[in-house]
Chains A and B, each alone.
Chain A
């Protein structure tokens, strides 16, 4: 199985400041035949379903604010919240869909400092 490891487990950021979450996969999730990384990011708030933010490691889902961006390739990925807003308080997960079983990172809790 591909193990996804996120860091940090939690972080507190001031409103308007940048939040950066890292995700590392135990093997590459890059598929050279189509030049894509099979990596998604989700936002999960209490009592709500997870929400897709980013797919193919870098593509923002429709309707997601542009302060959310994804980067990285191969085994190392980053989700950046450019200017943290109060409504961004949540747990964020990365997920690989390169090979079954699909696996998630353990989650990173983002709070306001």
Chain B
């Protein structure tokens, strides 16, 4: 069964850091580009970053550049998101999502998300 499971969310103070994980099962992670997408309370979906299958290339949105870092460990079939200098506006559910193929860059598998709350 193809599945993504995020973990690592929680309550963190402004300025703090957090590392989110996404465990993949049922498929080979290295075969796919992977992304992180978030949804703030009452808001829509916002794509944040992607990483290629080999991890050799990364693209991040302007809104998170310099604070968010995506990485992967294909041997562990896991994806990560390091978030630094957290702000209240980073409060959101964070989803990892699989891009179908290198040519078909839509998201065909999503995790259930992990909630990050930034508050003092």
Residues of A at the B interface (CB closer than 8 Å) are 38, 40, 42, 44, 48-52, 55-56, 61, 91, 93, 95, 97, 100-107
**Could you tell me the distance in whole angstroms from the C-beta of B2 to the nearest C-beta in chain A?**
12
Bound-state Cα–Cα, A10 to B104, Å:
29
- Specify the chain B residue showing the minimal Cβ separation from A106: B44
Q: Is B113 a contact partner of A49 (Cβ separation < 8 A)?
A: yes
Chain B interface SS verdict (over half): strand
A102-B105 contact given A49-B95, A107-B44, CB 8 Å threshold? yes
- Chain A min CB distance to B46 (Å): 7
Considering the chains assembled together, what is the distance between the CA atoms of A32 and B47 in angstroms?
A: 25
Encoded as 1 (CB less than 8 Å from any A CB) or 0, chain B from 86 to 97 comes to 000000000101
Q: Are B35's CB and A102's CB within 8 A?
A: yes
User: Is A52 within 8 A of B106, CB to CB?
Assistant: yes
Residue of B47, B62, B95, B100 near A102 (CB, 8 A) is B47
Contact between A97 and B61, CB atoms less than 8 A apart: no
Q: How far is the CB of B3 from chain A (nearest CB, A)?
A: 10
Query: Separation in Å of the A31 CB from the closest CB of chain B?
Result: 10
Chain B, 68-109, contact with A by CB distance < 8 Å: what is the 0/1 string?
000000000000000000000000000101001000111110
Asked whether, in the complex, the Cβ of B95 is within 8 Å of the Cβ of A40, the reply is no
